[in-house]
Structure 1
Amino acid sequence: MIRLFKVKEKQRELAESAVGGAPVKKQTAGELRLNKGWFIFNKNSYVTKVILKVEDDFMEGGSSLLVILKFCVTYASHGGYSNRCLKVKGQGDISELNLPKTCSIIFPNGKDDLMNFEVSIRPDEGYYMGGTFIFTFQVSPIYPHEAPKVKCKTKVYHPNIDLEGNVCLNILREDWKPVLNINTIIYGLFHLFTQPNHEDPLNHDAAAVLRDNPKLFESNVRRAMSGGYVGQTFFPRCV
């Protein structure tokens, strides 16, 4: 583990040794250890990918050394990797959810599958008040080192949600960190309905209307939620 703290130094040495040659792609912390023989795992195995992800998060300040040590101990004591050890965090987060009163959680596959579920959001203020919006969550086997995959199941006229259900929420993308959790995501989704944002859109038409004509935007939202057309797009009723 001492070598863990010399990764940056070794990366610099590799770069310096390439003087006069083609540029060398900067290796991640995990790749450097793998290439130097610090791991004996298959480079493409699922176990190796998980370990590299955990360690690279550590080098970027996203994971504590304790997390890495716990993972190594778990791996060694069980004679190999088990999906169960990485699901524990996700299951714990779900069992400790502190949802807004306007949100509820549904398990379509039953309580035995806690890694795939739906969240229902019913805003009590703002443009979308009274509507019901369903989001699907698919929790990664390496959560919390990867954000859950979240899509909006309800077709909605919204600047930050496109017609295919993709959601523009920064913590689901570049701002995700292992210290965040499912509860954080749900509050972020709720915030999208109380404070839609025209500056970071997925539905550019809706964003332009919100920016230029909030009254028309409000009218479009009510029409869509009631089950009707906005432009040439039909939205099923969700109120």
Structure 2
Amino acid sequence: MDTKSVNGVDLHYRLDGPKAGPVVMFANSLGTDLRVWDALLPHLPDGVRTLRYDKRGHGLSQQTPGPYSIEQLADDAAALVRELDLSEVVFVGLSIGGLIGQSLAARHGDLLRGLVISNSAAKIGDEAMWRDRVDAIRRDGLDSIGAATMERWFSPGFIASGAAAPWQRMLERQPLEGYAACCEAIGAADLRDSTAKLDLPVQLIAGELDGSIPPETVQGTADLIKDARIDVIPGAGHIPCVEKPAEYAAILTRFLTDIGHV
């Protein structure tokens, strides 16, 4: 198990692949840990070096007192990249990870070669919605939102097959206050101005059946960014790297190839 202490928090991470390989860094969605990328990795090009990590308050990373901010989470990601002596990273952020990626690109763009914003947007919901969710889980626990969350995360067929059950357990076993602090970070974040100024290659990915951040919301962020491309994965929900890993990897591989990263 690998950890690094950065910005006053102990972050759990996995760094795999050849030392000289081009680096692709993955940031997880709310309520998941770095295993959310497991099914995707075998579909990536040979020679890629992958960095996965658990943001603060999630998975095996340390939970620190909240609320958090997206800027703080982006600074954590930047500090981890620097601590591992990496550069020219392509950052792939899913959901809250997409917000982290946008802030990272705006605040630490010197570290990045490209950015993938997956199932995310520059503004996600409003503070009242996220405050209501935090109140609900503090009152009733994360298991109280488990089933409803799966309906937003995955397609009906995936849920009916029973394949969503482990992901529901993953959500329900996250540190409650870490989850709540990340909800507060999402609620407070409005990155539309800084995202509109990004000047690096950007790929956006959406799931056709995403019940959390639908394709039209992702498209709204794509419209802010010069020369950004968006792809919608048919039949996929909010976490297409789990539900459609080969299709997701094909989009990512094309992007990496187009920008000369592989």
Q: TM-score range by the shorter chain?
A: under 0.3
Of Structure 1 and Structure 2, the greater strand share is in: 2
Question: Could you state the TM-score of these two structures normalised by the residue count of structure 1?
Answer: 0.25
Question: Could you state the TM-score of these two structures normalised by the residue count of structure 2?
Answer: 0.23
